[in-house]
Amino acid sequence: MRDYLSAELTATCAVIGYYDGITYHLDKNCLEVIKDLIRYLKRDDDTHTIRRFLGQTRLLQTDLVKILIHHVKNIELWDVLLRLLINLTSSAFVIYNEQIPTEKIMYSFYQQIVTYLQEYKAALTDENVWLAVAGRLGTLFNIDSKERGEENELTIERILAFIKNVLQVSPNDNEKRSDNDATVHDELLFAFHASGIVDIILFIVCNKNEQQYQMQILEIISLMLREQNASLLATSELQRSITERENDEAGLVALRQKELREKIDKVKKYAGSRHSRFGGTYVVQNMKAVGENQMICHKPYQKIEALEFGHDKKRVKRRRNKMSLQDAKEERTSVLSVRLFLKEFCVEFLSGAYNPVMKFTRSCFMNDPHGQVEETAVYLWALRFFMEFNRHYKFQVKYVSETISTEVFYLVQRQMEQYYEMIIVDKKKIPLWSRRLHLALKAYQELLNTLMAMDKNRDDGVRESSKIIKSNIFYVPEYRETILSQLLCFDEVKMSRQYLVDLITTIHIFLKMLEHYCQKSQRHLIVKDTKLKRKKAKKGKQSTQENVTTVPTLEERWDIIGLELSAVMRDAVIPVVVPFDATLDTPIDDQKADAMKKIQKLTRQRNLEQAIGLLRAAREIWPENDCFGKVDIPPEEEFLALREIFFADLGEREREREREREREREREIPIVLVESKNAQLRQHVRDIGSDESNMFNALYEYLRNTASESRPVADHNFTRRKFLGEVIEYVNTYDETKIVRRYIHPCPYANPTAKPQDSA
């Protein structure tokens, strides 16, 4: 059966046509042959025999590409050929239903298809291919969108799908190109630029009439820029910077040293044939062998820790589902010419299309969060990349205003929670969901970085917008505990090491922003009330002189305030006041007493316009029982209602006395804050030793003690053992322990139930 199928496919491919070196000559049955190939691919078996045969015969490189270039005017043939090319260039990951096969034979078939796709991508780097595609697209877009017709719309979608299929082919591992060297992907991008495909993409995203294609265009843009570093791309110039030159020189020196080490090791390996057993034997002091004799070794050791007993043991192979995920190296430095035109493309996209495209994309999946998984991932990538690009290239908030809001923070937080739930539920696709979770985390990190950049902006409006967003993410528990919950749920088997690095970096940024926010606004967050014992004054010691100040009574104060209140009610403009706080978890009906106390406080502070406005607003919100007066109350009765509230005992006097006593205690008992430095922490880690369990326990106690010394009243969410375990993993592989310093540095952060105290 296989021989028959192979003969049938060979005969079919032979009658397409031939290429004479100048032009491609079509067979009279070429159109029917291409349609037959499409039907064959639709009826392919589970091992994808036909697809692998067409890749092996190099049909796309020898025939299909030539037809695409030389016969673009044959519309019927060109459109059918486009359908065949879309089928052949479909992702192997999609062909196998987003599950990489684990069985040996099926995995080898999967790798064959990936290899053929990489060969297709290399063949499609020809500029003439994309000149033909750009010409066909330009002809279609010259037709008005209302008169284009369904067939033309379908052709545009197919061309965009073909571009996406070619771009998403993964790079060849055997290529191993260094930075600043042209890869196949770079050659393809340059062909897009030279043929005008990039200009057509910008035209589509900037045109409101072509909004139905913006989701596909955003996917294409994400594939075009997937290997680029946003900050490096934003700072690319015509001449290489000094930093780039130094990095390149350091890389060359490292490669040269590596080659020398490998050469020396090879020489040592074959230089002498004798073993080193004739160099003598040595006795290890204070260590017994199996018997009663001293232990013998064949070489001297500088440290006893270097003496190992298990170097000859065979390591137990870990199970596949217990192996940690490997970090995929996605970013690289392209050649300068590619970086320059990509930078220009990003600048034009930011200034002309970013906000409307992101708004449309968000509307596509907001109402159906579980149905548009791929679109959501593309949205998160675009958010992270272009906001980082904007931050490093002439930072302007107006270019990314669509993705700077509390709603976007909520969206990213929701996606992080959903991806983590899918990691637990869909165990066959753990790597896929883990990568998407990492993508959402980097988007969240970039949102925080953008807020920090907004704080440094000279525009007062920009700084005020940042302050409003931070007030939400710092005081709402769902926003504040998002990063902490992600760290407590970290699993080194299901999540990569780079994810842990980005997660702890995000926590570092969050705590830094929280510290700056609390210091700048001079707010104190009540986390826990502690009763401090006050020393009793000794008998016999009495103050020799007392300054007695007479406090005016409420009646005396009302005599003055009453006259002002009458004038304000008669002549002043009363502002509109909101009598409740919608950001609190407390229901609106339960905030009636707080509104009453606030009216009393404003009246006693002689802030009469606000008091009257708050009274009238509260009357509309809580009309029952006439607590704030009747609905159509005359001014005289409203005056009497304010007088009753002024003299009412609402429990504020005792609270004011308690606050005064607390201030006295703070003045009498100084709090000394102890700050630990990075050098001390690293020295402590070195003193612990190499044993991971001892290191964990000792560093755990060290951080707890340091935190308790620096913050006597603290929320201990960040002193949990699981949190510190992940921090230790980070310390073991990172040279600077900034996050640990941020952790033990005194920072007034909020408790889940804490509220800001008035800084009076």
Q: Which of 133, 34, 131 is nearest to 88 (CA)?
A: 34
Give the pLDDT confidence score for residue 544 in this predicted structure.
41
Amino acid identity for residue 453 in this structure: A
The CB density around residue 611, as the number of other CB atoms within 10 Å, is 26
The position carrying tokens 């707010």 is 523
Q: Which of 447, 221, 210 is nearest to 349 (CA)?
A: 221
Residues 6+ away with beta carbon under 8 Å from 123 = 60, 61, 65
Amino acid identity for residue 354 in this structure: Y
Alpha carbon distance 433, 422 (integer Å): 7
HSE of 610 in the Cβ direction (CA atoms, 13 Å)?
A: 14
Give the tens place of pLDDT for each residue, 218-268.
999 999 998 888 988 998 887 777 777 787 788 888 889 999 999 888 887
Give the pLDDT confidence score for residue 650 in this predicted structure.
74
Amino acid identity for residue 571 in this structure: D
Q: What share of the chain is helix, strand, coil (3-state, %, to 5)?
A: 65, 5, 30
Beta pairing class for 524-525 and 756-757: antiparallel
Amino acid identity for residue 160 in this structure: L
Phi, then psi, of 281 in degrees rounded to 5? -120, 155
Give the pLDDT confidence score for residue 733 in this predicted structure.
53
Give the pLDDT confidence score for residue 664 in this predicted structure.
55
Which DSSP string corresponds to 61-113?
IIIIHHHHHHTTT-HHHHHHHHHHHHHHTS-HHHHTTT----SHHHHHHHHHH
Q: What angle do CA 486, 492, 496 make, to 5 degrees?
A: 85
The position carrying tokens 């540095």 is 745
Q: Is the dihedral of CA 117, 119, 125, 129 positive or negative?
A: negative
Which DSSP string corresponds to 616-631?
HHHHHH--GGGTT--T
The widest CA-to-CA distance across the chain, in whole angstroms, is 121
Give the pLDDT confidence score for residue 759 in this predicted structure.
33
Give the pLDDT confidence score for residue 642 in this predicted structure.
82
Give the pLDDT confidence score for residue 446 in this predicted structure.
94
Q: Which of 155, 217, 198 is nearest to 375 (CA)?
A: 217
Q: Helices 460-475 and 497-521 meet at what angle, rounded to 10? A: 110
Q: Judge contact between 523 and 759, C-beta under 8 A.
A: yes
Give the pLDDT confidence score for residue 725 in this predicted structure.
58
- End-to-end CA gap in the chain: 89
- Across 354-410, the runs of DSSP E, i.e. the strands, are none
Alpha carbon distance 702, 708 (integer Å): 10
Q: Which of 490, 392, 387 is nearest to 442 (CA)?
A: 387
How far CA 652 is from CA of 509, 540, 596, 601, 644, in Å, comes to 39, 35, 11, 9, 15
Give the pLDDT confidence score for residue 493 in this predicted structure.
84
Amino acid identity for residue 242 in this structure: I
Q: Judge contact between 469 and 409, C-beta under 8 A.
A: yes
Q: Judge contact between 527 and 754, C-beta under 8 A.
A: yes
Q: Judge contact between 714 and 707, C-beta under 8 A.
A: yes
Alpha carbon distance 572, 412 (integer Å): 46
- Which of the residues in the chain have pLDDT under 50? 521-522, 524-529, 532, 540-548, 666-716, 719, 735-737, 743-760
Give residue 159's Cα distance to chain centre: 31
Long-range CB contacts (within 8 A, 24+) of 516-521: 516/455, 517/467, 517/470, 517/474, 518/747, 518/748, 518/749, 519/748
**pTM: predicted TM-score of the whole model, two decimal places:** 0.68
Burial class of 528 by CB neighbour count within 10 A (0 to 12, 13 to 18, 19+): exposed
The position carrying tokens 């007066």 is 629
The token duo for 738 is 């900034």
Give the pLDDT confidence score for residue 723 in this predicted structure.
54
